[in-house]
Amino acid sequence: MKDIAHSYPFLRQGKVRDVYAAPDHTLLLIVASDRISAFDHILPNTIPEKGRILTKLSNFWFNMTKDIIANHLVDADPRIDNWTDPVRWSQSDLRGRSVMVRKAQPLKIEAIVRGYLAGSGWKDYLTNGRVCSISLPEGLLEGDKLPEAIFTPSTKADTGAHDENISFEEARNLVGSDIASQVRDVSLKLYNFAEAYARQRGIIIADTKFEFGLTDDGLILIDELFTPDSSRFWPANSYRPGSSPPSFDKQFVRDYLENTHWNKQPPAPPLPVHIVFKTAEKYKEALRRLTDYSQEAKA
Ligand SMILES: Nc1ncnc2c1ncn2[C@@H]1O[C@H](COP(=O)(O)OP(=O)(O)O)[C@@H](O)[C@H]1O
Ligand SMILES: [Mg+2]
């Protein structure tokens, strides 16, 4: 038991995921917790089952998109029955939220694709009519669909700092010209594929963020994919440009926090219980609509 426990040393805690070293040094064990972050801070509450929902959704999309780009998923249901992390996880907690993945060198940029004008894209557009140096038509409203999806990279800030939108030129300076072009082309393909799929399921993917990493075999997709944490999901039937639509993602939590007048400095305020439950419902609904399987239906 002890030896096995030592075979997954804890490496680091992300805002949502705990990362462990696997016995095979080319792999990592990643455990998605129920933590939720907003404005780059981890909130004091957890959202029940969130980590399992994110894991299911990411695995679903990794499988759906593997012909567009290789991804890090090696084992979606790793056999870790003899292992636990006494500090963080009991054995039963680990089930359904752990994945064995290929270790990659994460790129220094985040690959963001926007099909609609929202969030920091909308703010940038209001300031100068552009998003990440891409000029857009005049007179667009918040939430408007863009003529075509755009690639709007950002820096991948170290803990605590805010990611900043950057131009494609700056992205090239950070990761090199070839990789930047490859990331842009693959990101747009991934977005267009998933946007069309989700739309048939009544969900608009307004924008999304990917992380890529380098391996000996080239570029792969890592981290998470088309989840409510990494994407803006809007219900298609209540979509109206000119307003911020009720979403399936953590925009709901951001909206709540904006109204508390929290100054965005730690410590983040706790969420009231009804916000926690409503958020959990939204994550479940996104999973159900996109994949047809709910949490309860899991094997
Ligand atoms: N295949 C991989 N190889 C190396 N690092 C990875 C891989 N997949 C995810 N990561 C990293 O593991 C961490 C996942 O934790 P997460 O909570 O998502 O972090 P963050 O707070 O940066 O969002 C991130 O730092 C991510 O870059
Ligand atoms: Mg992440």
Does residue 19 sit in the same domain as residue 60? Answer: yes
> Residue 297 pLDDT > 50, yes or no?
no
Does residue 192 sit in the same domain as residue 173? Answer: yes
Q: CATH number of the domain that 157 lies in?
A: 3.30.470.20
CA distance 42 to 170: 29
Identify whether 257 is part of a domain. no
pLDDT recorded at residue 201: 96
Pocket probe for ligand 1: among 29, 40, 47, 222, the residue whose CB has the most ligand atoms within 8 Å is: 222
> Residue 5 pLDDT > 70, yes or no?
no
Structure tokens at 126: 């209001």
**Ligand (nearest to CA of 100):** 1
Contacts of 230 by beta carbon, 8 Å cutoff, 6+ apart: 208, 209, 210, 223, 224
Does residue 97 sit in the same domain as residue 138? Answer: no
- For ligand 1, is residue 72 a contact (CB within 6 Å)? yes
- Residue 34's nearest CA partner among 284, 242, 218 is 284
Q: CATH number of the domain that 6 lies in?
A: 3.30.200.20
208-250 pLDDT per residue, tens: 999 999 999 999 999 999 999 999 999 999 999 998 777 888 8
Note whether 183 and 175 are within 8 A (CB).
Answer: yes
Contacts of 267 by beta carbon, 8 Å cutoff, 6+ apart: 44
Does residue 15 sit in the same domain as residue 60? Answer: yes
CA distance 224 to 209: 9
Q: How far is CA 133 from CA 120, 160, 258, in A?
A: 13, 25, 28
Does residue 97 sit in the same domain as residue 113? Answer: no
pLDDT recorded at residue 244: 74
Does residue 118 sit in the same domain as residue 136? Answer: yes
How far, in Å, from the CA of 14 to the mean position of ligand 2? 7
Identify whether 288 is part of a domain. no
pLDDT recorded at residue 295: 46
Note whether 22 and 79 are within 8 A (CB).
Answer: no
- For ligand 1, is residue 213 a contact (CB within 6 Å)? yes
CA distance 241 to 222: 32
Return the beta strands (E) in the chain as ranges. 10-13, 17-21, 27-32, 35-38, 41-46, 73-75, 98-102, 105-106, 109-116, 130-131, 134-135, 145-151, 154-155, 203-215, 218-222, 231-235
Taking CA 195 as the corner, what is the angle to CA 230 and CA 59, rounded to the nearest 5 degrees?
Answer: 50
SS3 content of the chain, % helix, strand, coil (to 5): 30, 30, 40
| 256-265: long-range contacts, CB 8 A cutoff, minimum separation 24 | 257/38, 257/39, 264/39, 264/41
248-274 pLDDT per residue, tens: 888 889 999 999 989 999 999 999 999
Note whether 121 and 114 are within 8 A (CB).
Answer: yes
Does residue 248 sit in the same domain as residue 157? Answer: yes
Does residue 238 sit in the same domain as residue 131? Answer: yes
Does residue 162 sit in the same domain as residue 27? Answer: no
Among 51, 84, 103, identify where a domain stops. Answer: 103
Does residue 84 sit in the same domain as residue 125? Answer: no
**Ligand (nearest to CA of 102):** 1
Identify whether 166 is part of a domain. yes
Structure tokens at 57: 């959704």
How far, in Å, from the CA of 14 to the mean position of ligand 1? 7
Does residue 113 sit in the same domain as residue 246? Answer: yes
Identify whether 261 is part of a domain. no
Identify whether 260 is part of a domain. no
Greatest mean pLDDT among 7-11, 67-71, 292-296 lies in 67-71
What does pTM read for this prediction?
A: 0.95
Q: How far is CA 129 from CA 124, 136, 151, 154, in A?
A: 7, 6, 16, 18
Contacts of 299 by beta carbon, 8 Å cutoff, 6+ apart: none
Does residue 148 sit in the same domain as residue 232? Answer: yes
Closest protein CA for atom 6 of ligand 1:
223
Number of domains in the chain: 2
Q: How many CA atoms lie within 13 A of 60 on its CB side?
A: 21
CA distance 242 to 122: 11
Closest protein CA for atom 8 of ligand 1:
223
Domain membership of residue 208 as a residue range: 106-252
61-92 pLDDT per residue, tens: 999 999 999 999 999 999 888 888 999 999 89
